[in-house]
Structure 1
Amino acid sequence: MGFNPYGSRIGGPSRTALKLFEGAVSSSAPRPTEAAAVPEPGSEKKEEPKSMGWGLFLGYLSSGIGSVVFLYYFYKARYSLHQTEILLLEAFRRLPLYWPAGPKPAEVNSRWEAEGLPEDIKLAFCEWFVVTDLEEPKGVTRDDVLELFNELGLREEAQPAKDFLYRGEGHIEEKKRLACVGLQESLTLMSALRTHYGKQREVAE
Structure 2
Amino acid sequence: MQGRLWKLLPQDRFAPLVTRVPHPDRDNPPADTPVPRSIGGINIDPVPGTNFNQAPSARNIPVHRPPGAVAEPQFLAGCTRCGDCIDACPYDAIVLAPERLADVAGTPIIEADHAACMMCEDFPCITSCEPGVLTDRIPPIMGTARVTPQLCLAYHHTTCTVCSERCPVEGAITVSDGKPTVDQDTCTGCGVCRYVCPAPENAILLMPAFERPGRPTP
TM-score, normalization by structure 1: 0.25
Higher relative contact order (CA 8 A, sep 6+): 2
Q: Which is strand-richer, 1 or 2?
A: 2
TM-score, normalization by structure 2: 0.24
Q: Which is helix-richer, 1 or 2?
A: 1
